[in-house]
Amino acid sequence: MKASPRQQRLLLDLQELDTTIARVRRKHATLPERAELDGLSGEIAAAREAYMAAQRELDTHTAEIERIEADVKMVRDRRARDEELLARSTAAKEAQALQAELDTLAHRMSELEDRELAVMEQQEQAQAAFTEAERVLGGVDARRAEIQSAIDAAEAQLKREFDSNTEERAGVAAEVQRDVLEVYEELRGRIGIGAARLRGTVSEASNMALTPAELTEIRTTAPDELVFCPGTGAILVRVEDEA
């Protein structure tokens, strides 16, 4: 197939751009920050679970204190009522019954106060555990946000590189004659590389030195005739000033 030396050089430009675009795609797919974020997911889940468990524990103790305080109020109200009745009572039996109930209420009040103190201590411990769990979760979330920010910045930079190289590639491809471009694209899709330099005696497509017979055949082929790498089948571009 005929292709001027300039057309062949354009294929090298095209291959270089395709290599760069492929590199950008690989870099986008293998961002180390994304792996770091994936690795953090277990830590985030554990921190969130610990936070929720600590919150439930704190809420349980808070609710129990509220129930105790409601019971304390009821006992106080009942005691105040009985004391008022006892002060007005003139019947010995009634006074005796009221006093017995006041004794019972006093005992109940003592139990409630002891229980409230115990639960308040538990609540204090639960509050400390909750504060620590909140701190840990906040730290993990901050790390996640920092990593995500780095991912966003890296992806934005890679997109700019991808768009710039894709636009440049379109311009170069437009200068390549259609039949030559079709051969290049078919080879690149099949073997992963469409064109490479012949640097001295070495094919950059295979990174191997050609045999004397292969070199003789290539060097005796007209400059405007496409030649191919014996090892890979890619278009081999002869660049004399790089030989």
Q: How far apart are CA 168 and CA 198, in angstroms?
A: 24
> What's this model's pTM, rounded to 2 decimal places?
0.71
CB contact at 8 A, 231 and 47: no
Judge whether residue 24 has pLDDT over 60.
yes
C-alpha–C-alpha distance, residues 49 and 238, integer Å: 64
Position 1: which residue type? M
Task: Say what the pLDDT of residue 241 is.
Answer: 53
pLDDT 10s digits, 155-166: 999 999 999 999
Long-range contacts of 24-27 (CB under 8 A, 24+ apart): 24/158, 24/161, 24/162, 24/165, 25/162, 27/158
pLDDT at residue 122 in the model: 97
Q: Containing H/E element for 209?
A: strand 208-209
Largest CA distance in the chain: 136
**Best CA proximity match to 122, nearest among 178, 60, 169, 182:** 60
Mean pLDDT of 137-150: 96
Pull the structure tokens for residue 8: 């062949």
pLDDT at 243: 38
Which residues lie closer than 8 Å to 211 by C-beta, 6 or more apart? 230
- Of all residues in the chain, what percent carry a pLDDT higher than 90? 90
**Res. 113: pLDDT tops 50:** yes
Whose tokens are 């471009």? That residue is 181
Distances from the Cα of 134 to the Cα of 123, 129, 145, 149, angstroms: 16, 9, 16, 22
Strand 235-238 and strand 208-209: the pairing is unpaired
Sheet with 227-228, side-by-side order of all strands: 208-209, 202-203, 195-199, 235-238, 227-228
Q: What is the mean pLDDT of the chain?
A: 94
